[in-house]
Amino acid sequence: MSMAELGDESIHLILTSPPYFNAPFDYQGLFRNYDQYLGVLKKVANESYRVLQDGRIFALNIDDMLVDGQKYPITADAIKIFQNVGFRYRDKIIWKKPNGYLRISKRSGVLLQHPYPMYFYPDNLLESIVIFQKGKFNYRSISNEIRKKSKINKKEFQDNNWHRTIWEITNVLPGSKLEKGVAAFPEELPYRLIKLFSYEGETVLDPFLGSGTTIKVANQLNRNSIGIEIISDLEDTIKKKINLKNLEIVKRNKGAYRYVTLDYIKKRKNKNIRKK
């Protein structure tokens, strides 16, 4: 929500996945209400528009959320928020997780207990990757040398169906040590987005860094990267995952958004739940 350390138009690509709104398993009761959650997205959108260079891309991994029986239209609301800030809604890609990821759950299993009309509730294997663009990109601003270095492998593009609006990518599976307690996206997701929407030597930003996946992949693809994370407990995890000698960590010593601990998050979640 605050990127005071970053200058105006200093970033070439932003990609991120914010916390799911009060997801029952990962973020239950984290936000007081839905309006507060949308307020967070508005601040992120405003700051992102400021730091992103003209013509460049913001890729938002997000999806609607079912909480206490109510479905929240997060994707649609996020699109309107980013449009109101000034971004152009360019595309939406659907990330499909493996069919075996979810078996019949309590939600879809209702119909098995009551095999009649009106008892159907589907399980969700999909998430959205919404692509926004700030203005128009100047293709002539990139030198021939950088263009050649950043050339996309056409065989990889075609064989893995990057050209489709549905990407079938295996999610981070439960039990992964470095993603414990963090709803991380798989490395394949930032890998594709970084290759498709940035050039070598440019700077990629993840405003919700989590365990550090975006920085790890950006480094592998010869991009510079910046990540912002308020949960200080994740510092060791990020260091282990990225394993970079030139990793610089800047800690804020003041301000509303400096950093918090997992213990604080848990207490706040419990407090919000009690308020309900």
For the segment 65-104, what is each residue's pLDDT rounded down to a tens digit?
888 888 999 999 999 999 999 999 999 999 998 876 665 5
Average pLDDT over residues 182-200: 91
Backbone phi, psi, residue 35, to 5°: -60, -40
Q: What is the pLDDT of residues 100-148, one digit of tens each?
A: 666 556 778 888 899 999 988 888 889 999 999 999 999 999 999 999 9
pLDDT at 276: 36
Q: Is 70 exceeded by the pLDDT of residue 206?
A: yes
Average pLDDT over residues 175-198: 81
Q: Is 60 exceeded by the pLDDT of residue 154?
A: yes
Q: At what angle do helices 213-220 and 235-242 cross, to 10 degrees?
A: 20
- For residue 53 the two structure tokens come to 């260079």
Give the whole-angstrom CA distance, residue 212 versus residue 240.
Answer: 9
For the whole model, what pTM was predicted? Answer: 0.89
Backbone CA torsion sign across 191, 193, 196, 200: negative
Q: Is 69 left (phi over 0), alpha (psi -120 to 50) or beta?
A: left
- Cα torsion 233, 259, 181, 205 to 10°: value is -110
Higher pLDDT, 123 or 258: 123
CB-based burial label for 232 (10 Å; 0-12, 13-18, 19+): middle
Average pLDDT over residues 206-223: 95
Domains and CATH numbers, the chain: 11-96+128-275 (3.40.50.150)
Q: What is the pLDDT of residues 11-34, one digit of tens each?
A: 999 999 998 888 766 677 788 899
Helices (H), ranges, 86-233: 110-113, 144-149, 154-159, 188-197, 213-220
